[in-house]
Amino acid sequence: MSETFCCDDKDTLVAYLYGEIDPAARRDVEAHLRRCVACSEEILALQSVRRDLESWIPPMPDLGFTIVRQPAAQPAPVLTSSRWSARGALPVWAQAAAAVLVLGIGAGFANVQVRYGSDGLLVTTGWMAPVAAPATAPAV
């Protein structure tokens, strides 16, 4: 049997430690560990560290605050603008006027042109090139 494991193959050694290698490679590593004192001591040290880390429990931090439940009877506070909360909500007619104003300004910036003729309804913007009339062949 030829041994494929060598001392500087740390990836295989760690995979052996975690049981993540195939049975043939496991046999090769175990055969090497019986002959190599340095690798045997390294595996024993790594196993000891692994056991210590498995038993470690992180400490509970003291952050200086406590979490308390808010009583269900009190509704959560609603953040509102102080400008409108004193007078109530913005009236519906004012909201509609603001929407029309925004749409009108947007249409003005876009240079929207609406035409209705024999061709039907034509909507263009100032950013579009004008549609040229189709060229007719000169009569002979």
In a domain, 68, yes or no: no
The alpha-carbon radius of gyration of the chain (Å, integer) is: 40
**The pLDDT of residue 84:** 55
In a domain, 116, yes or no: yes
Give pTM, 2 decimals: 0.38
Structure tokens at 127: 């950013």
In a domain, 29, yes or no: yes
**The pLDDT of residue 96:** 93
Structure tokens at 134: 């189709």
Check the CA dihedral 115-121-126-131 and report its sign: negative
Tally of structural domains, the chain: 2
In a domain, 71, yes or no: no
Structure tokens at 85: 């909360």
**The pLDDT of residue 129:** 61
Domain that holds residue 96: 91-124
**The pLDDT of residue 2:** 46
**The pLDDT of residue 1:** 42
Q: Which residues of the chain have pLDDT under 50?
A: 1-2
